[in-house]
């Protein structure tokens, strides 16, 4: 397989894929469920769809809705919209009708794809998208407001995709994409792999939710790259390590990677490169990465250094960078920032601000907290809105959660606040391991050896699972409103 480059033919997302198809037309591009499609057929079907969309009015500046599922048709639809010069808006097929209508109205969707029937007519001349034209709009879940559409241009996604070649192994890729097609981490694995002429493996919903089925898929398809949430990957390595013989690279992101999990991976699978990746949708999937090694000392796993071409700083204010070891808000700048929020110029101006060190350029205020260590590596401290005050002390809830995950009896954990007559309390929700038997007192003592007393939860609850959103991440908004009543009281 040949590596993608920045030639004129590859300045758009579909250009990257078309260039790979020209190199290896008969290679399998995508496997999803029982269906596989070659590069030749993938491009042919996408161009056929593009022709129908153009005749229906698609082109630059038009946003086209895609009923997105874990199948080949969704990928054909994405590419078909791009070939038509328009921007696609992925809308999950299982999305409730009310939310589906909200996204359609906010995005101004006038057309929806229909890849169910082939069009034998020639596509004819297709509009030519430019680097500045929107490629897609992804709606992100808000913690305190309705979802907002993030608009990302071709040039940003192409730059983000090409930079992955400088960080991750890219030869002979068979790349498992665990994320659903409605989130940005799906974008990374899809176009990175297709630009390289590799094969994308898309698991079914059942396979994503069942570690045994997912492990069998990894083994059956000789998967070389796994792109997943840390919790998804942990289920594979903990119980199905024997199925990972062909895996060479694991790229984890979307939630905090526990230090204990990284250690276990390095001990059990030292030949498999493990990366901790970080980035918001507004930074086109990623902006930092850290390759885990035995030199990492904990208690957390760094999110690393800026991706090639990007600038990532920790700031105490819009103009001042925080010194090493001091917490501040993470800001991102560089060539693959999103254009902004669809139809929300005020919010765009508030979050995408002038970069004081680079006149004429912007930097994105992430709302995430972090700090740089003495080696220059960036560490993630959680969302700014996950920092609470308890008895006058500032507490990062994710730091408490990370401490709990170090305990061998804890599989997953979340910490929320509860208002009471005597002030704010911390409530820990614990999902025990299969052999987990630790009680509240044991967990409190365990945390007490690692954290200040004011950071120790005073209420403990046992839950069978943490509530999740469609993208697999923990549903923080729901936990914030109902977490203190979930499950049962954890015994002493």
* The two structure tokens encoding residue 21: 């198809």
State whether 347 and 414 are in the same domain: no
Residue 143's pLDDT is: 43
Same domain, yes or no: 138 and 41: yes
**Which range (117-131, 244-258, 315-329, 331-345) has the least confidence?**
117-131
Is residue 347 domain-shared with residue 429, that is, in the same domain? no
Q: What is the pLDDT of residue 8?
A: 42
Q: Which of 372, 401, 427 is the last residue of a domain?
A: 372
Is pLDDT at 117 greater than 90 in this prediction?
no
> Are 310 and 411 part of one and the same domain?
no
Residue 102 Cα distances to 105, 134, 147, 180, 342, angstroms: 5, 20, 9, 19, 13
Q: Considering only CA atoms, which of 45, 85, 87 is closest in space to residue 64?
A: 87
Q: Which of 6-10, 70-74, 180-184, 393-397 has the lowest mean pLDDT?
A: 6-10
Cα 101 off chain centre by: 24
The residue from 322, 344, 372 where one domain ends is 372
- Model confidence band, residue 163 (pLDDT cutoffs 50, 70, 90): very high
- pLDDT value for 382: 81
What does the pLDDT look like over 47-64, one tens digit per residue?
Answer: 999 999 999 999 999 999
Residue 101 forms part of a structural domain = yes
Distance CA 337, CA 310 (A): 9
Band of pLDDT at residue 304, cut at 50, 70 and 90:
very high
Q: Please indicate, yes or no, whether residues 132 and 29 belong to a single structural domain of this protein.
A: yes
> What's the average model confidence in pLDDT over 249-269?
93
What local confidence, expressed as pLDDT, does residue 1 receive? 39
Q: Are residues 273 and 410 in the same domain?
A: no
- Closest C-alpha to 399, from 411, 387, 390: 387
pLDDT of residue 421: 59
Examine residue 379 and state whether it is found in any structural domain, yes or no.
no
The pLDDT value recorded for residue 6 is 46
The pLDDT of residue 289: 98
Same-domain status, 412 and 365: no
CATH of the domain at 468: 3.30.300.30
Query: Is-contact 379 421, C-beta < 8 A?
Result: no
pLDDT at 483: 83
Q: Once rounded to an integer, what is the mean pLDDT over residues 341-362?
A: 95
pLDDT digits (tens, 9 = 90+) for 366-416: 999 999 999 999 999 887 777 777 766 668 788 899 889 999 999 999 999
Radius of gyration of the chain measured on its C-alpha atoms: 23
Q: How confident is the model at residue 329 (pLDDT cuts 50, 70, 90)?
A: very high
pLDDT given for residue 283 in this prediction? 97
127 inside domain: yes
Domain containing residue 330: CATH number: 3.40.50.12780
Do residues 153 and 132 make contact, with C-beta atoms less than 8 angstroms apart?
A: yes
Residues in the chain: 492
pLDDT at 141 over 60: yes
Three-state SS string across the chain, please? CCCCCCCHHHCCHHHHHHHHHHHCCCCEEEEECCEEEEHHHHHHHHHHHHHHHHHCCCCCCCEEEEEECCCHHHHHHHHHHHHCCCEEEEEECCCCHHHHHHHHHHHCCCEECCCCCCCCCCCCCCCCCCCCCEEEEEEECCCCCCCEEEEEEHHHHHHHHHHHHHCCCCCCCEEEECCCCCCHHHHHHHHHHHHCCCEEEECCHHHHHCHHHHHHHHHHCCCCEEEECHHHHHHHHHHCHHHCCCCCEEEECCCCCEHHHHHHHHHHCCCCEEEEEECCHHHCCCCEEEECCCCCCCCECCCEEECCCCEEEEECCCCCECCCCCCEEEEEECCCCCCEECCCHHHHHHHEEECCCCCCCEEEEEEEEEEECCCCCEEEEEEHHHEEEECCEEEEHHHHHHHHHCCCCEEEEEEEEEEECCEEEEEEEEEECCCCCCCHHHHHHHHHCCCCHHHCCCEEEECCCCCECCCCCECHHHHHHHHHHCCEECCC
Contact call for residues 225 and 188 (beta carbons, < 8 A): no
**Same domain, residue pair 415 and 367:** no
d(CA 366, CA 307) in angstroms, rounded, equals: 16
Report the share of the chain in percent with pLDDT over 70.
93
In a domain? residue 123:
yes
Percent of the chain with pLDDT over 90: 72
What is the number of other CB atoms lying within 10 angstroms of the CB of residue 350?
A: 11
Q: Is residue 149 a part of any domain in this protein?
A: yes
Quick check: 348 and 341 in contact, CB under 8 A? yes
Cα–Cα dist 224/1, whole Å: 14
Do both 344 and 438 map to the same domain? Answer: no
193 closest CA partner among 226, 228, 233 = 226
Give the residue carrying structure tokens 């250009």: 15
> Is the pLDDT assigned to residue 75 strictly greater than 90?
yes
What confidence score (pLDDT) does residue 17 get? 96
Is 139 a residue whose pLDDT tops 50?
A: yes
Q: Tell whether 383 is covered by a domain.
A: no
Together in a domain, 322 and 406: no
Looking at residues 94-104, what average pLDDT do you find? 85
Per-residue pLDDT, 115: 60
Tell me the average pLDDT of the chain: 90
Name the residue range of residue 437's domain: 391-489
* Alpha-carbon span 379 to 305, nearest angstrom: 10
Look up the pTM and report it: 0.82
| Cα 305 → chain centroid | 17
Return the sign of the alpha-carbon dihedral for residues 344, 345, 347, 351.
positive
| Same domain flag for 317 and 414 | no
Same domain, 144 and 234: yes
377, part of any domain: no
Given a cut of 90, whether residue 463 has pLDDT beyond it is yes
Question: Quick one: average pLDDT of 116-137?
Answer: 79
- The structural domain count of the chain equals 2
| Half-sphere exposure at residue 23, Cβ-oriented, CA atoms within 13 angstroms | 19
Residue that finishes a domain, picked among 372, 402, 425: 372
């Amino acid at each position: 397989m040949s590596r993608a480059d920045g030639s004129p033919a590859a300045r758009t997302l579909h250009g990257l894929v078309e260039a790979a198809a020209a190199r290896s037309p008969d290679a399998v591009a995508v496997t999803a469920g029982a269906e596989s499609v070659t590069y030749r057929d993938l491009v042919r079907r996408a161009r056929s769809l593009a022709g129908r969309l153009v005749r229906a009015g698609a082109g630059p500046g038009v946003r086209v809705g895609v009923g997105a599922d874990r199948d080949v048709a969704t990928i054909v639809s994405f590419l078909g919209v791009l070939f038509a010069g328009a921007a696609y808006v992925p809308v999950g097929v299982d999305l409730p009708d009310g939310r589906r209508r909200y996204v359609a109205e906010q995005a101004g969707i006038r057309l929806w794809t229909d890849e169910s029937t082939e069009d034998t007519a020639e596509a004819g001349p297709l509009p030519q998208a430019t680097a500045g034209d929107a490629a897609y709009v992804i709606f992100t879940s808000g913690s305190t407001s309705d979802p907002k559409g993030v608009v990302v241009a071709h040039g940003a996604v192409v730059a983000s995709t090409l930079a992955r070649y400088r960080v991750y192994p890219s030869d002979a890729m068979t790349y498992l994409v665990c994320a659903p097609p409605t989130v940005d981490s799906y974008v990374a694995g899809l176009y990175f792999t297709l630009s390289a002429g590799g094969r994308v493996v898309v698991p079914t919903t059942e396979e994503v939710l069942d570690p045994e089925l997912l492990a069998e898929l990894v083994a059956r398809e000789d998967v070389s790259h796994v792109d997943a949430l840390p919790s998804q990957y942990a289920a594979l390595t903990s119980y199905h390590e024997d199925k990972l013989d062909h895996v060479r690279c694991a790229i984890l992101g979307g939630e905090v990677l526990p230090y204990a999990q990284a250690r276990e991976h390095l001990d059990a699978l030292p030949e498999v490169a493990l990366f901790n990746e970080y980035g918001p949708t507004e930074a086109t999937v990623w902006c930092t990465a850290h390759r885990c090694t035995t030199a990492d000392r904990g208690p957390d796993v760094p999110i690393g250094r800026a991706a090639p071409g990007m600038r990532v700083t920790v700031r105490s204010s819009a103009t001042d960078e925080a010194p090493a070891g001091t917490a501040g808000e993470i800001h991102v700048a560089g060539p693959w920032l999103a254009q902004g929020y669809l139809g929300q110029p005020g919010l765009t101006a508030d979050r995408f601000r002038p970069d004081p060190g680079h006149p004429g350029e912007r930097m994105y205020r992430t709302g995430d907290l972090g700090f740089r260590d003495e080696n220059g590596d960036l560490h993630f401290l959680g969302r700014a809105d996950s920092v609470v005050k308890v008895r006058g002390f500032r507490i990062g809830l994710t730091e408490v959660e990370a401490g709990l995950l170090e305990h061998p009896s804890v599989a997953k954990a979340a910490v929320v606040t509860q208002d009471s007559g005597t002030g704010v309390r911390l409530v820990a929700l614990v999902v025990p391991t299969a052999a987990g038997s630790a009680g509240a007192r044991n967990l409190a003592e365990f945390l007490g050896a690692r954290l200040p007393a004011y950071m120790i939860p005073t209420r403990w609850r046992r839950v069978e699972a943490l509530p999740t959103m469609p993208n697999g991440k923990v549903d923080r908004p729901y936990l914030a409103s109902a977490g203190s009543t979930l499950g049962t009281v954890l015994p002493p």
